[in-house]
């Protein structure tokens, strides 16, 4: 048995003899084992941290780019306090928007970008004004492609808009913690960048999972990156998925780890 294989007496092993499994299938089985172990460790189901509308989630994500959570949160709050509606943000002088979002990084770039996105959404024939609630009725891939056509919106933001907002559409965002943990556990190659990792990691998640399970998957891997698998000096000696880690830089095992 290798690290990709499920335990011999598990339902997965009974259903799929090792010799016939493709590498993709083996990775899917491994991703599920990681999900189960990390969910147990970090407590799934994880409560949603937000019930913003999709447009609010989009603006919030645009503000958060390369910004500490506390600072982007402050910028978002100030923006909402200063302007009563998204139409008001769209039509305001750019300097006023820039002033309102000053706590985040590069407000001088983010203010015109946010306004440009709001204008483009207003003019888009596929949606009815500045709401985006109709995205809940679209196939998730179509909604993501549509969102990613706007400047500054990448795969992480499009997934976050669908999953984190009150739409609760199953779409998998990958942040830097999630990405690092997935690399070290061998779910994606070490050379794969965050952008392409979205499709690769989404392909490992069962297609019939609801939003809560997809959210749990993202949160569990992200929390592992935040609380144990640090960028520098990961705490391998207390890692619950030590046996599944293929990273050559990993440290000493937990005292009770099976190091087969």
Chain positions contacting ligand SF4, by CB under 6 A: 184-185, 228-229, 234-236, 239, 241-242, 245, 247, 250
Q: How far is the CB of 234 from ligand SF4 (least distance, A)?
A: 4
CB of 78 closer than 8 Å to CB of 46: no
Q: How far is the CB of 247 from ligand SF4 (least distance, A)?
A: 5
Closer residue to ligand SF4 (CB): 138 or 247: 247
Closer residue to ligand SF4 (CB): 145 or 238: 238
- Rg (Cα) of the chain, in Å, rounded? 20
Closer residue to ligand SF4 (CB): 201 or 229: 229
Closer residue to ligand SF4 (CB): 164 or 242: 242
Q: How far is the CB of 22 from ligand SF4 (least distance, A)?
A: 24
Q: How far is the CB of 236 from ligand SF4 (least distance, A)?
A: 3
Closer residue to ligand SF4 (CB): 106 or 230: 230
Q: How far is the CB of 220 from ligand SF4 (least distance, A)?
A: 12
Q: How far is the CB of 241 from ligand SF4 (least distance, A)?
A: 5
Closer residue to ligand SF4 (CB): 22 or 259: 259
DSSP symbols for the chain: --TTSPPTTSHHHHHS-GGG--HHHHHHHHHHHHHHHHHHHHTSSPPPS----HHHHHHHHHHHTTS-HHHHHHHHHHHHHH-SSHHHHHHS-HHHHHHHTTTSS-HHHHHHHHHHHHHHHHH-TTS-SS--GGGGGS-HHHHHHHHHTSTT--HHHHHHHHHHSTT--------HHHHHHHHHTTSS-TT--HHHHHHHHHTTS-TT--HHHHHHHHHHHHHHHHHTS-SSS--GGG-TTGGG---TT--PPPTT----
């Amino acid at each position: 048995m290798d690290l990709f294989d499920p335990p011999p007496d598990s339902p997965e092993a009974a259903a799929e003899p090792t010799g016939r499994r493709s590498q993709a299938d083996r990775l899917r089985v491994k991703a599920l084992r990681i999900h189960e172990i990390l969910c147990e460790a970090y407590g799934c189901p994880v409560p949603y941290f937000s019930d913003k509308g999709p447009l609010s989630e989009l603006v919030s994500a645009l503000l958060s780019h390369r910004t500490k959570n506390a600072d982007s949160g402050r910028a978002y709050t100030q923006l909402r306090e200063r302007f009563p509606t998204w139409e008001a943000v769209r039509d305001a002088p750019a300097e006023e928007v820039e002033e309102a979002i000053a706590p985040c990084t590069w407000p001088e770039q983010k203010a015109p970008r946010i306004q440009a996105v709001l204008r483009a959404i207003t003019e888009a024939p596929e949606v009815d004004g500045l709401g985006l609630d109709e995205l809940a009725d679209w196939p998730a891939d179509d909604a993501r492609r549509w969102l990613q056509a706007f400047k500054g919106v990448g795969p992480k933001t499009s997934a976050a808009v669908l999953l984190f907002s009150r739409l609760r559409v199953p779409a998998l965002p990958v942040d830097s913690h999630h990405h690092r943990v997935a690399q070290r556990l061998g779910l994606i190659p070490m050379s794969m960048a965050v952008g392409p990792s979205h499709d690769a990691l989404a392909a490992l998640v069962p297609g019939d999972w609801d939003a809560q399970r997809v959210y749990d998957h993202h949160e569990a891997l992200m929390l592992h990156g935040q609380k144990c698998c640090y960028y520098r000096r990961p705490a391998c000696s207390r890692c619950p998925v030590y046996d599944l880690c293929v990273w050559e830089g990993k440290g000493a095992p937990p005292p009770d780890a099976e190091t087969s």
